[in-house]
Structure 1
Amino acid sequence: MARKSLVGVVADELLDRIIAGDFPPGSSVPGELELSARHEVSRMTVREAMKTLEAQRILSVERGRGTFVNPLNRWSSLEAVLRAASEGQNEAAASVQLIELRRMLEAGACELAAARISDADIQALFGYVASMRAAHKVNDVAAFVEADLAFHDLILRASENVFVAVLFAPLHRVLEKRRAETSAVPTIQEHAIGHHQNIAEALESRNPSRSREAMDLHMQQTLDDLKNLVLEAP
């Protein structure tokens, strides 16, 4: 195996242990000697792997003291943050922050889409709402999530802002997992259907401020449902 591949393997395995909580924020990670023995690689390979994580601001080196894990909000690697959100121990905080991010981006995207969305896309939105209703009646969570994601993806595309689409693309895997968790609650499905209907009607009116408000209210309801019906559920 090439040195570069070995470096990547060691860096990934150390990141996995950080995400799993073996090394919480502020804690020190093992030294080069211990890690080289654990992974059966040279100390140079371990050193390069540590440099990789340091460059992503996952680790900080304090000369004379050791190497320490940074809090998640200091990490600069989107891929690493998404892995932490998907697999980490503090999923509640990640779920809340993900909705906060969606609220900031999707409300603005919906406002832009109001002036740019086509008639065909408007009808497609109402079709997705109908699919959500049909899935809700038979408690088909997978079909409900599929229609829900498609509804939001269409609005993001209709905003015609390329940066929005690029920002959301890496989030899709995490969003799908989170939607499956929250959409398993029938009450949350009912709330979502009503808000999606309101959003589609707001976009149909071509009113940017009304569209932004409709999406913002949906995000607030989503956050409230997450906190009250999922995170605090017995």
Structure 2
Amino acid sequence: MSLPDELAEQLLGSIIDGTYSPGGALPSEAELAELFSMSRLTVREAIKALRVQDVVRIERGRGTYVNPPTRWTSLHALVRAATSPGAVPEVVTALHEARRVLESGAAELAALQRTDADLTLLRQHLREMAEAADAEARCAAHLAFHRAIAHATGNPLVPLLFEPFTRAAPAASDTARHEALLAAIEAHDPAGARRSVDAHLHVRGTRT
């Protein structure tokens, strides 16, 4: 990661934790350069990266101001904001709605496109989930299961779209619900696969 990218991530973290609040101004380039012991050119490039994501806006003659998260156009930034302590409720809800749309569609497509190799991998992850010795292992198996569904769609873009959501705390890994989802995918039943995911994430903006 380049220095401007590192600084952009640090500034994003400061915005998310409330150091710099929506509507408020960032310190000047000179102040940020001194604060982070970096050149003004590095600061300028970092600000540019945040501006491209609509995390901040530049008001000519006034300075650089923080936009509310609902205006951000970076999935990475939004997921990071939604999974942070004190996250804005609207952003948390948006995260769960987007995840539900993505996972439902992925399950539906996987039911149509999956291969026998995909089924073998899904069964393996489901077994690992059921046999996990602790919460960490269960969470890892749960995440691997959903990643395998994304890959089973046969669409190379779906796993890339899904990956940012892996930062979010997963919904409860109910083995029975995952078995129903796997059964629908195995049966080439896209409607059933979608219903299984909808049941799995049926409470908008909360964990099941």
- Give the alignment's Cα RMSD to 1 decimal: 2.9
Greater mean deviation of Cα atoms: 107-116 or 62-71? 62-71
Matching residue of 2:144: 150
TM-score (norm 2): 0.81
CA distances 1:52-77 after superposition (whole Å, capped 9, x unpaired): 32232111122343321011122233
Larger Rg: 1
Matching residue of 2:184: 202
Distance 2:119 2:88 in 1: 34
C-alpha contact 2:111 2:190 (8 A) present in aligned 1: yes
C-alpha contact 2:102 2:162 (8 A) present in aligned 1: no
2:58 aligned counterpart, secondary structure: strand
CA distances 1:63-116 after superposition (whole Å, capped 9, x unpaired): 343321011122233333344345463176555433322211111111111122
Matching residue of 1:217: 199
| Identity percentage of aligned residues | 39
Q: 2:165 aligns with which of 168, 171, 187?
A: 171
Matching residue of 1:38: 35
Distance 2:96 2:83 in 1: 14
Greater mean deviation of Cα atoms: 54-63 or 39-48? 39-48
- 1:195 Cα deviation from its structure 2 partner: 0.9
Matching residue of 1:65: 62
C-alpha contact 2:55 2:72 (8 A) present in aligned 1: yes
Name the structure where helix makes up a greater proportion of residues. 1
Matching residue of 1:132: 129
Distance 2:41 2:117 in 1: 58
Number of equivalenced pairs: 208
Distance 1:48 1:118 in 2: 45
TM-score (norm 1): 0.73
Unaligned runs of 5+ in 1: 183-187, 228-234
CA distances 1:25-75 after superposition (whole Å, capped 9, x unpaired): 111122234334333455555444333322321111223433210111222
Q: What code does the residue aligned with 1:144 have? A: R
Matching residue of 2:153: 159
